[in-house]
Amino acid sequence: MTSQRKKVAIVGAGIIGVNSALEVQRRYPNYDLTLIADKFNGETLSDGAAGLLRPDTYVFGPSLEISQQWVDDSYSFYKNLLKNRDELCGINEVSGYMFSTKNPDIIKNHYMKNCSPDFREATDEELKAHSSVENQLQINYGSFFTSIVIECKLFLPWALKKISNNAVTIIKRKIESLEELCGEYDIIFNCTGIRAGKLCNDVNVLPIRGQVIRVKAPWVDKFYYCDSDTYIIPSISDGTVVLGGCRQFGSHNEQVNERNTEEIIEKCTALLPSLKEALKTDYKVWVGLRPYRNKIRVEIEHINGTVIVHNYGHGGYGITLAPGTVKYAVDLLNSVNN
């Protein structure tokens, strides 16, 4: 696409920011692009996430149709990267289960059913095999499907390298106000996650505290969910698994809670007893604040003659939805340019 050369700033270098840089670079190769952030790679929230592409079932976009399109576009983006096996970008296809002990609605996911090629109900044999009298775990409902795990500890550095190799300027700087950049840039992408609440005076942004454990267990090659907040997600590249979790709305506490750790271990080992052996060795506990908004904000605003493209509020589904919301955001920019 050819167009007038413009100066563009992308603020934020988590999963939304780096995907925005890749997409703008692809569609507007003649733009003068700068990525600005105070945190990169391992410093970002994205780096600690388990990274399974699996959205929640509520309508997080302007409509159900647009929400589904975001999921489909993300799935297609990551699926295409699977073909580049020569590039270490941290993308792997993984199959697994969603289980429930109490509610059949928990194992339904209309978004994944529409894009995962093998989404099906779990068989009675599979439910029985994962139940345990000893652990007092009776699984009554389940579904099986194949999805994609995005390991951000590999994906973020890969994307940053790809971006910088294409003449994008990368600046480490903390932005206190988007107005700081107005006048200097024609277009600003706001991909600041939890800080968008302050930068935009957006009272709808609040943190959802999450805590997970990462432990070495290379024999685990499937993902598992049980009753929503218990999950086991493997990282193929290094043989670790992420065990979770919790969703604490409105909590700003970034300290490890030992009771949360105990609960995660108890629930995950009941679901997959072989983890007891893995947890006898060292493991890491990570806490992050997910940037939740009742509706993800992907829209354009004009401030002092500068086009602001907002893209934030993904909660715990930033990795799942990043390519989809980024494509939608750049489509909005395209309509403004036209």
Q: How many residues does the chain have?
A: 338
Residue 312, annotated ligand binder? no
- Token pair in block for residue 81: 């990267």
Helix (H, G, I), strand (E, B) or coil at 118: coil
Residue 239, annotated ligand binder? no
Dihedral-angle region of residue 113 (phi above 0 means left; psi in -120 to 50 means alpha; beta otherwise): alpha
Helix (H, G, I), strand (E, B) or coil at 263: helix
- Token pair in block for residue 254: 């970034």
Residue 75, annotated ligand binder? no
Rg over alpha carbons for the chain, rounded to the nearest Å, is 20
Residue 245, annotated ligand binder? no
Is the torsion defined by CA of 261, 267, 270, 272 positive or negative?
negative
Residue 123, annotated ligand binder? no
Closest CA to 194 of 77, 39, 21, 34: 39
H/E segment holding residue 292 = strand 283-303
User: Which DSSP category does 122 fall into?
Assistant: P
Residue 34, annotated ligand binder? no
Residue 15, annotated ligand binder? no
Residue 231, annotated ligand binder? yes
DSSP string, 195-248: GHHHHTT-TTEEEEEEEEEEEE-TT--SEEEETTTEEEEEETTTTEEEEE---E
Residue 150, annotated ligand binder? no
Residue 320, annotated ligand binder? yes
Residue 17, annotated ligand binder? no
Residue 107, annotated ligand binder? no
Report how far residue 118's alpha carbon sits from residue 112's, in angstroms, rounded to the nearest whole number: 10
Annotated binding site for FAD: 50-52, 192, 315-320
Annotated binding site for D-dopa: 231, 290, 316
Annotated binding site: 50-52, 192, 231, 290, 315-320
